[in-house]
Chain A
């Protein structure tokens, strides 16, 4: 297993051109992306050894590993942006739930396989189209991370789209389950492309993509997949937001309790 440190080794030359205020904002945003991948990767890794079939156990572990790799690149870059000497582990293990900036969707429990697939599909659909836009982004380092992650996200979206189709157009039971998951989880999808004040500010500076294009591509893909799955996209539902501003559901506290257990119990040690 290689330890992928390629993004940490050099400092992004563009950093020198950012004012401290911009740098701080970019730091917050990169942290948000890292938190998102970490928490979803954590959820997926909970499946390890418990999947419905060995091949899917492997697939979910694989996606979790990709997300964890992306997480590390992002935290390492965030640590550089912050410039306070914090490490990737400090950022992951020593921040509280209200400091976490992941959207609500990714902290939702695994539920049954249909819940996991729908949660993954909603995220992958955003992740893939967002990364594509990020490639042509003004911040070089983020674009470099996006380039690597996009290859992985392409596979993730293929995996979750195919499962939506299989479950929707499978048996009566799978259809009933996936419809229920869609009803439960779709209300968390709006947050992904609803810009926060931080995101609006970075978008205005051209440092991160506008979400209109991302949302348009997402809608087109979701319509294609759900149509093939013989499923309907929920209409007129109330979209829940807050995670990206640190207002989470109760699930996150338990995730962090587990995730941070060792670092909190044995502070300051090397593992």
Chain B
């Protein structure tokens, strides 16, 4: 019997599989642009986990109780774990961790801009978990169904842990909001700083996001930036109200007709400034990563040299 797809070009066959929601696996043929887009996206995601350890790591030594300290430390450790399996997922596309790190360190590869904001108070640990991880989850849950198999499977694991982190963050906020006036003020002040930057995490407006259409067509992406941003606002405004906090946007209002919250315009000048390297912490974050990598070079070399010596000895013994 004649195969109905045999007259199709490889591109057409590929798209037919995508359209049928068949997962693409590492050994399958894929268009170069698909491969490149995925490497860019997965490595960016891995870098975000790695750089994302820094703003929270900043508070491990100052956590206000031993219980909070151990929760925070294990959370940051989870992020390192996410980084590891995302780097592995990207490696299945033919790149290496060394190459990806070199691109991060040279500034060629990006990471989530949210981590270029400073963590200034303990309430920031609440906001990072509640808002930043909340936004990350909205971005990431659809990726569990993304077309590339290794990425989708890594995301299933990541999402499970992220939702746990988000609850922990909310719980920090709740404890602050049920506490003393100084704690409530700390919570509100942190929300004021983190609200708009988290809205920016969904990326530019749809009309300014040139890659969205192709990514949706390849089912790498499942929702547009603005759709996700709206979902986030609809999810978070009631939670802020529950906490007794005020979202720092006077335009936030329930729209009965749309069955969604209206909200104000994001400061896109700030968004682009931070993306281009002019946030408060861009230099510090990247600087810390480069420093760790450079100062760790002799350790990695020693481990390799020792492994080589050992292998040689075992060969001689055998």
Contacts and interface: CB of A to CB of B under 8 A. Distances in A.
B96 interface: no
B71 interface: yes
B302 A171 contact: yes
Interface in B219-248: none
A170 B305 contact: yes
A16 interface: no
Contacts of A55: 84
Contacts of A57: 53, 80
Interface residues of A, number: 50
B182 interface: yes
B70 A52 contact: no
A167 B292 contact: no
A102 to B, nearest CB: 15
A88 B66 contact: yes
B175 A270 contact: yes
A269 B183 contact: yes
Contacts of B64: 262-263, 266, 269, 271
Nearest to A259: B61
Contacts of A62: 77
Contacts of B306: 165-166, 169-170
B301 A52 contact: no
Interface in B290-314: 291-292, 295-303, 305-306, 309
B232 to A, nearest CB: 25
A213 B82 CA distance: 43
Contact of B74 (A65, A92, A262): A65
A64 B61 contact: no
Q: Is the interface of B mostly helix, strand, loop or mixed?
A: helix
Interface string B55-95: 00100111111111111011111001101100100000000
Contacts of B73: 45, 48, 61, 64-65, 68
B154 to A, nearest CB: 15
Interface in A31-85: 38, 42, 45-46, 48-58, 61-62, 64-65, 68-69, 71-72, 75
User: What interface size band does chain B fall in?
Assistant: 35 or more
A58 B50 CA distance: 11
A1 B62 contact: no
B179 interface: yes
A112 to B, nearest CB: 7
Contacts of A165: 306
A258 B302 contact: no
Given A49-B288, A65-B70, A271-B65, A58 B299 contact: no
B122 interface: yes
Given A61-B80, A170-B302, A171-B305, A259 B74 contact: no
A212 interface: no
B61 A271 contact: no
Nearest to B303: A166
Contacts, number: 142
A113 interface: yes
Contacts of B62: 258-259, 261-262
A113 B61 contact: no
B182 to A, nearest CB: 6
A45 B302 contact: no
Contacts of B298: 171, 173-174, 177
B318 interface: no
Nearest to B178: A270
A184 interface: no
A3 interface: yes
Contacts of A46: 61
A89 interface: yes
Nearest to A263: B64
B131 interface: no
B143 interface: no
B54 interface: yes
B315 interface: no
B301 A170 contact: yes
Contacts of B305: 170-171, 174
Contacts of B292: 49-52
Nearest to A43: B61
B317 interface: no
Given A54-B50, A61-B76, A171-B302, A266 B83 contact: no
B77 A271 contact: no
A58 B66 contact: no
Nearest to B164: A1
A1 B296 contact: no
Contacts of B77: 48, 58, 61-62, 65
Interface of A: 1, 3, 38, 42, 45-46, 48-58, 61-62, 64-65, 68-69, 71-72, 75, 88-89, 92-93, 112-113, 165-167, 169-171, 173-174, 177, 258-259, 261-263, 266, 269-271
Q: Which 10 residue pairs across A and B have the least CB separation, nearest first?
A: A52-B296, A170-B302, A174-B302, A262-B64, A49-B53, A52-B299, A271-B64, A49-B57, A61-B77, A166-B306
23 contacts: A48-B76, A49-B76, A52-B299, A54-B80, A54-B87, A56-B299, A58-B81, A61-B77, A65-B74, A92-B66, A113-B295, A166-B306, A167-B302, A174-B298, A174-B305, A258-B61, A259-B61, A263-B64, A266-B183, A269-B183, A270-B179, A271-B68, A271-B122
